Amino acid sequence: MIVEHLELTNFRNYVAADIRFTPGTTALIGSNGQGKTNLAEALTFLATLDSFRGVPLDTLIRNGQETAILRARVRHADGREVLIEAELSRTGRNRVQVNKQRLVRARDLLGVMRTTVFSPDDLVLVKGGPGERRRFLDDALVAIAARNDTLRREVDRIVRQRNAFLKQIGWKPSASALSADEALTLDVWDDKLADAGGQWGDARAHLVAQLQPMVTVAYEDLANKATPVDLVYEPEWRRIGLAHALAAARAEDLRRGLTTSGPHRDDLEMSLNGLPSRTQASQGEQRTLALALRLATHRLVTDQVGSPPVLVLDDVLSELDPDRATALLAHMPGGQVIITSASGLPAAAHPDRILHIASGTVAEQA
């Protein structure tokens, strides 16, 4: 999968941009605050309709403007060309088209274009809370198969509606205080969550089993030494079954007015050399592990879908020591790569094209 052409109008700090990418490696070089990450964000937005910076969509529209337009022409491995267009509006009436056909649902875009993003913020995969790691797993599952998004949304919907019903009931000292109708309705939501949540937990567990050896190899490549890396996804509810876990937690759920057991509460535990990476690893080790997670996911998605996603390295090299930056470049997976940097590139980098970014303008190096 190759992005051949990107056009932007009133996106972030770009009044207009018209960029053609090489099928190999394109480097975007410029000082901080000039718009390098904005270009990376535009590419990834057209793949997911979400910002990897985690910001509201109206912040993507240039100040003083009401709309922003993004277009990308993508060529697939089988030779098909796809035109993706998105119009963002401050009114919230956003519009997305693929080959001039408007998409009714945002999730219909999934799989049309795939990207893998490395950014300095990836450190939260190791140092952040459980929600960051859940999102990492769930995004990987959707990248592998767009149909997984349907199950993810169904689990989220059930949890929201079960929580809403618990709040509607109000505080109860115990499950025995429920009326017959309340107990029956809660049973229905428990059955739905046990089914959909159980499937999602199984999918996560299978994904972690696939990633484990790939993460170990990727970490060893980056650190240039053998290091035991363990990924563990074993929530208690999977050992006893979600239906039993929900039944056991019903009294607590009624007291707290929320669902305390299920995939929405899980965590992915990670360790290096047998020690928890979140609390015992150095920041260099944590950053290397975060990169290994991204590299392993990129390779797994490539294996599963048959072609590599577009790889975006957003100011990652400057966060690594020289040895690890060189190791990352030496073990870069095949496919199209977009690198941004404010401080130039290491000697080991050999981009096919260099573009200089300054104040929202793009110029090719002579």
Query: In the chain, where are the structural domains located?
Result: 1-114+310-366, 123-308
**Beta-sheet strand order (sheet of 337-341):** 115-118, 310-314, 337-341, 25-29, 353-358, 361-364
Task: Look at the chain and count its residues.
Answer: 366
Tell which residue, 149, 11, 7, 142, has the closest CA to residue 84.
Answer: 7
259: which DSSP letter? -
Q: Do domains 1-114+310-366 and 123-308 have the same CATH topology?
A: no
Q: Which residues of the chain have pLDDT under 50?
A: none
Residue with tokens 């009294």: 251
Tell which residue, 299, 286, 304, has the closest CA to residue 334.
Answer: 299
Amino acid at 266: D
Other beta carbons within 10 angstroms of residue 162's beta carbon come to: 22
Task: Give the containing element (helix H, strand E) for 135.
Answer: helix 130-144
**Cα(57)–Cα(74) distance, integer angstroms:** 23
* CATH of range 123-308; options 1.10.150.110, 1.20.120.140, 1.20.1050.90, 3.40.50.620: 1.20.1050.90
* pLDDT score for 366: 59
| Range 1-114+310-366 has CATH code 2.60.40.10 | no
What pLDDT digit, counting tens, does each position of 163-200 carry?
Answer: 999 999 988 877 888 899 999 999 999 999 999 999 99
> Which of 25-53 are b and which e, b meaning 16 or more Cβ less than 10 Å from the residue's Cβ?
bbbbbbeeebbbbbbbbbbbbbbbbeebb
Query: pTM of the prediction?
Result: 0.91
